[in-house]
Amino acid sequence: MQILVTGGTGYIGSHTVVELLKSGKEVVIVDNLSNSSKNVIDNIEKITNKKCKFYEIDIRDEKGLEKVFEENDIEAVIHFAGLKAVGESVVKPLEYYDNNVIGTIKLLEVMKKFVCKKMVFSSSATVYGDPGNPKYVEDMGRGKASSPYGATKAVIEEMLESLYIADNEWTISLLRYFNPIGAHESGLIGENPNGIPNNLMPYIQKVAIGELKELSIFGDNYNTKDGTCIRDYIHVVDLAVGHMKALQKLNKPGVYIHNLGTGAGTSVLDIVKTFEKVNNIKVNYKFAPRRAGDLPEFFADPSKAKSELDWEAKRGIEEMCRDSWNFISKNRNS
């Protein structure tokens, strides 16, 4: 029996594949390489000394997916594949709905056909919208999405809930991630987006290696301890371990929702200062106007994941900043 990981050569997917292989699972990856590259597979194999099967397939390609299910004995799917750039989703909403929502529908149809009814889905804290309290708890429900990207996550969550109501043989885990940063300690896998990054840590990394001149910190007058926004940053390896735990609990049909965050809020300035301190490197920055759509502060209540999944984040901000630098300094030209 194998675990199918869609988007398995991507940032979070690759770290999760490492954890799966380390735990003795057999893994099949499906990825169209739209935001990753094939050499990630070699690096996963170098880290784990184990092999995984790879199919370069788009999840919207039903025939291709059927072949994957025919050739393997898939017991469950961890579904990462999707587009994730918030800004781009505003410009290309149809592409986001097509890729994320239609892609998930195609995948579910093929899973149903092959009677594989267990899925862990990559959701996001963005589905909470703006609930009016910075500490996000699972039972707050979904709020109004602030972007088409966020809307695709909320729609997929709803779709999966409807699927379970229609057919209660499904076992579905919705994992709502907070802000993943960091990289595998080997420096072999991590996040290195093409072009100018949108997210904080990839931007800091590019400034630190001298590829970009300076970081713009969006907003210095929020009502927070230092005026900059507060988020719940989580080490990508902790996040990957969270998927393992969720997978282990897929033994009773239902839809289960869990936050994967640390529970601690960290400001943008804290991240910059910690990155500078632990890596002994300067990160040039300037203050810039607020970015549209940013909330001043939010972080996870991670207690449900602790009690139900026996999972909690173990790695702190220093380790996240150290591993992010280790990865980018080893991969600056890739």
Q: Which window, 57-65, 203-211, 252-260, 323-331, contacts ligand NAD (CB under 6 A)?
A: 57-65
Separation of alpha carbons 71 and 26, rounded Å? 14
Helix or strand or coil: residue 253? coil
Pair 10, 189: CB distance under 8 Å: no
Least distance CB 180 / ligand NAD (angstroms):
5
Is the CB of 82 or the CB of 219 nearer to ligand NAD? 82
Binding-residue pattern over the window 164 to 183 for ligand UDP, x denoting contact by CB under 6 A: ---------------x----
In which order are the strands placed within the sheet that holds 53-56? 53-56, 26-31, 2-6, 74-79, 118-124, 171-177, 254-260
CB atoms within 10 A of CB 134: 15
216 binding ligand UDP? (CB under 6 A): yes
Is the CB of 72 or the CB of 199 nearer to ligand UDP? 199
198 binding ligand UDP? (CB under 6 A): yes
Catalytic residue among 55, 97, 149, 256: 149
Which of 84, 117, 184, 231 touches ligand UDP (CB under 6 A)?
231
Task: Give the side-chain half-sphere CA count within 13 A for 140.
Answer: 23
Q: Quick one: which of 111, 112, 102, 93 has its CA closest to 60?
A: 102
112 binding ligand UDP? (CB under 6 A): no
Least distance CB 176 / ligand UDP (angstroms):
12
CB atoms within 10 A of CB 70: 9
The helix (H) or strand (E) run that includes residue 173 is strand 171-177
128 catalytically annotated: no
229 binding ligand UDP? (CB under 6 A): yes
* 290 DSSP 8-state letter: P
Residue 118 sits at φ, ψ, to 5 deg, of -125, 125
136 binding ligand UDP? (CB under 6 A): no
Binding-residue pattern over the window 238 to 277 for ligand UDP, x denoting contact by CB under 6 A: ------------------------------x---------
The option from ligand UDP, ligand NAD, none interacting with 35 (CB < 5 to 8 A, set by class) reads ligand NAD
Separation of alpha carbons 26 and 183, rounded Å? 22
150 binding ligand NAD? (CB under 6 A): no
Binding residues for ligand NAD (CB under 6 A): 6-7, 9-13, 30-36, 58-60, 80-84, 99, 103, 122, 124, 177, 180
